[in-house]
Amino acid sequence: MSDVRRQSRSVQIGDAVIGGGAPISVQSMTNTDTRDVRATVAQIRRLKKAGCRMVRVAVPDESAAQAIYKIKRAAKIPVVADIHFDYRLALIALESGADKLRINPGNIGAAANVKKVARAAKERRVPIRIGANAGSIDRKIYGEPTAVSLAASAIDQAKMLEDIGFHDIVLSMKAFDVPMTIEAYRIAAEKTDYPLHLGVTETGLPWEGAIRSAVGIGALLAEGIGDTLRVSLTGDPVEEVRVGYEILAALDLYTPSLTLIACPTCGRCNIDISALATEVRRRVGKMKLPRPIKIAIMGCSVNGPGEAAMADVGIAGGKGFGLLFSHGKPLRKVDEAEIVNELVKEVERFESDTQSKN
């Protein structure tokens, strides 16, 4: 993994910052009808609670563009207007207070119309994300989708905006093809200093989609590329946020409040690790912890004692019992039926000790 993040320019979106060394932010997109303000705001609030830093909404018509005004006031989170086909919707979204625009160079229309959008956005100091997708690339200009043509599509549009003095630009170049996506971002990272919004598009249902996203987004983040991300899943967008943070946590780019280490189990395991880990996550996940905590639930003596000792609190399993650890020190044997309760007690002590030191 690269120890150096790619240097990108800084772009302000509402009260959030992308690029310029700012922490990598997790985004999502609502799947409600944007014209249904109540439903859209309710979903955005769930996303915000899950850690979503900014949210994109579809703008298929004028009514949806106008709804952004009420959505933004109620949601209290930066709102990005997703514009396709009709540049006039971008102008209405700007008037409604959108914090950022996303336009697709493959379908937004004539250069003159794109420039109208850029001038209006510049007046309001609203950034634009140029989001090139393999499925909608302009084949008359760029031919069949490849990493090179995908990157060129986005970069050329960005240059058009810069030619009229617009510089608050973010780029994305997404495809379902993971290697194509990775290479397109590498090209853009090499040729520009624009902040890059990472994503693999149309990845499918949560199980396979999370894997494809983790491979594509994770590979780029490991190379120091990327300033913000969205995991595209078919389903509840809250899952997109959760997966996004897990990808960041796996690369030590984010520290979750609870890190749960649990062994995959094998024939040496004599306790029900799956049930124990599930219950510990459920109970500890509800607690308000003063600082991040690492809990290890291990099934046997091979890696168990070592992993448990390196965690803040841990258990190394035996036959019908577990050896409880805290802060690297073994404490006592615990019957299997009491493992969860004893672990939770140690977490509570950990919490109490931390608060008293502060």
Stronger pLDDT, 189 or 109, i.e. the higher one: 189
pLDDT band at 102 (very low <50, low <70, confident <90, very high): very high
Percent of the chain with pLDDT strictly greater than 90: 78
Which residue, among 283, 277, 287, has the nearest Cα to 311 in the 3D structure?
277
Residues 185, 225 contacting (CB under 8 angstroms): yes
Rg (CA), the chain: 23
Dump pLDDT digits (tens) for 10-38.
999 999 999 999 999 999 999 999 999 99
Which residue, among 216, 219, 184, has the nearest Cα to 203 in the 3D structure?
216
What is the pLDDT at residue 76?
92
Of the candidate ranges 34-38, 210-214, 218-222, 317-321, the one whose mean pLDDT is the lowest: 317-321
pLDDT band at 196 (very low <50, low <70, confident <90, very high): very high
pTM for this one?
0.92
What is the pLDDT at residue 354?
59
Residues of the chain with CATH 3.20.20.20: 11-250
Of the candidate ranges 48-57, 246-255, 291-300, 349-358, the one whose mean pLDDT is the lowest: 349-358
- Residue 139, token pair as written in the block: 């084949």
pLDDT band at 358 (very low <50, low <70, confident <90, very high): low
- Residue 323, token pair as written in the block: 């050896």
Tracing tokens 């990157």 back to the chain, one arrives at 151
What is the pLDDT at residue 2?
79
Of the candidate ranges 197-211, 263-277, 295-309, the one whose mean pLDDT is the lowest: 295-309
What is the pLDDT at residue 14?
94
> What is the rounded average pLDDT of the residues 106-132?
92
Q: Would strands 54-58 and 79-83 be described as parallel, antiparallel, or unpaired?
A: parallel
Q: Does position 75 have pLDDT exceeding 80, yes or no?
A: yes
Q: Would strands 293-298 and 313-317 be described as parallel, antiparallel, or unpaired?
A: parallel
CATH superfamily of 11-250: Dihydropteroate synthase-like (3.20.20.20)
**Rounded to whole angstroms, how far apart are CA atoms 304 and 268?**
11
Strand partners, 314: 296, 325
**Rounded to whole angstroms, how far apart are CA atoms 92 and 36?**
17
> What is the rounded average pLDDT of the residues 62-82?
97
Query: What 3-state DSSP class applies to 214?
Result: helix
- Under CATH, to which class is 258-357 assigned? alpha beta
Residues of the chain with CATH 3.30.413.10: 258-357
> CA of 17: how far to CAs of 78, 137, 225, in Å?
10, 28, 16
Q: Which amino acid is at 71?
A: I
**Rounded to whole angstroms, how far apart are CA atoms 100 and 123?**
13
